[in-house]
Structure 1
Amino acid sequence: MVFYQQTSQDMLRSYHTRAISPHQCGSSHVQTINAPLPFVWSLVRQFDKPQAYKRFISSCTLRAGTGGVGSVREVHVVSGLPAATSTERFDYLDDDYHVIRFTIIGGDHRLTNYQSTMTVHESNGCTVVTESYVVDIPPGSTKEDTVLFTDTIVRCNLRSLARISEKMASAESESDSLSY
């Protein structure tokens, strides 16, 4: 049996290329993580526990479903940000190719029609996470302001994912070396 390994270019073409209308904007970000893919994927794929690595989220409650595709979550945002809650739907999961997608469907923020796709793959001994999004530009805002705000959150989440994954990998490595 031959298992097809997708390259970075395949992943970008397949999952991170979308049409953007004139009233939308979007971006992509890549984070290289020095931790095995299973550690990273174990955090990313948990739709019902985004606070495991997303530091702007204080808690998450499932409103519909059991955490699988089709589930709806309500996340509570840490104080100080221009929102308190966000309602999000789990749209897609592929555990074989490590792809997850969700859409923001409500909340008290300005991220209308926000759709995020994350892919995780191995490259040169590291794990590479790519996150892309498309979102409507809110009335009274500019494309540049919307991208700046959204990119800041995405980059912070990816850096947090890297720190936590690398810490998990380091702790396991230390535990493995102590068992010998």
Structure 2
Amino acid sequence: MTCISPTPGPSIQIPWGAGGDGGGGVAVAGAIERCTAHALPDLVAKHHEHAARPEQCCSAVVQEVAAPAAVVWSVLRRFDEPQAYKHFVKSCRVVVGNGGVGTLRELRLVSGIPAATSTERLEILDDEHHVLSFRVIGGEHRLTNYRSVTTLHPSEPPTGTGQQGTVVVETYVVDVPPGNTKEDTRVFLDTIVKCNLHSLARIAETHCRHGDATAIAT
């Protein structure tokens, strides 16, 4: 599979709008918050809507990847191997399921972050539209009611290349831990997500250059 040249650089935080509540979102009908600063295809935009409560915060992070969506997806979709690109994950053990929706995984996290373990449930795995969502349901951490949604979108190729890249959009919503502000929580989590997506980009681009993307999809 042909790939464009990698474009290094950090991921870009996409603001949720000009709301002044500090929640990182724009409230619309039915207390739904949605990332409005980034155009999303209708097929996946619905997945980035969150019924955020006043005690929650939400955000969105975008990462450009110089590899086709199929290559990026082959890394992202492996719910049983998040440590492939999430460097804060020490190990992963699947406790229920076989990688499909409803699968539960238990993560052991690296030292140096304010968490030790996390139990997570796969909520969405859409191979056709490249949508993955999981929810944190337990573990030793402070991320109560954390839910993440990640979608992939083909991006326009650089002029003259004729080759396609990918834009990765990850949004999340979570309860603000006691003693923290929405801004504290968002800054911490955005940093983690940005690191993860930047790593995902590097890995996908490397597999693409070496022509072995299919090896990690099996």
Query: Scaled by the length of structure 2, what TM-score is found?
Result: 0.73
Deviation string 1:43-101 (CA, Å, 9 cap, x unpaired) is: 11111110111111111001111121101000111111111110000111111100011
- Which residue matches 1:177? none
Q: Once the two structures are aligned, what percentage of the paired residues are identical?
A: 55
Mark the runs of 5 or more structure 1 residues left unpaired by the alignment.
Answer: 1-6, 174-180
Instruction: Kindly indicate whether residue 101 of structure 2 is the aligned counterpart of residue 62 of structure 1.
Output: no
Displacement of 1:12: 6.0
Aligned residues: 167
Please give the secondary structure, in 2, of the residue aligned with 1:103: strand
Mark the runs of 5 or more structure 2 residues left unpaired by the alignment.
Answer: 1-38, 157-163, 213-218
Equivalences for residues 126-145 of structure 1 within 5 A: 126-145=165-184
Displacement of 1:19: 2.4
Q: What letter matches 2:189 in structure 1?
A: T
Whether the 8 Å CA contact 1:11–1:119 is kept in 2: the answer is no
Instruction: Kindly indicate whether residue 188 of structure 2 is the aligned counterpart of residue 149 of structure 1.
Output: yes
- Which residue matches 1:176? none
Query: Scaled by the length of structure 1, what TM-score is found?
Result: 0.88
Displacement of 1:13: 2.8
Q: What letter matches 1:75 in structure 2?
A: L
Displacement of 1:165: 0.6
Displacement of 1:9: 4.3
Displacement of 1:116: 0.2
Instruction: Kindly indicate whether residue 113 of structure 2 is the aligned counterpart of residue 81 of structure 1.
Output: yes
Cα RMSD (Å) of the superposition? Answer: 1.4
Equivalences for residues 28-177 of structure 1 within 5 A: 28-124=60-156, 125-172=164-211
Please identify runs of 4+ aligned residues in structure 1 that moved more than 2 A. 7-13
Relative to its length, the structure with more helix (as a share) is 1
Whether the 8 Å CA contact 1:72–1:87 is kept in 2: the answer is yes
Please give the secondary structure, in 2, of the residue aligned with 1:46: coil
Name the CA distance, whole Å, in 1 between partners of 2:179 and 2:58. 17
Whether the 8 Å CA contact 1:115–1:133 is kept in 2: the answer is yes
Greater mean deviation of Cα atoms: 7-16 or 47-56: 7-16
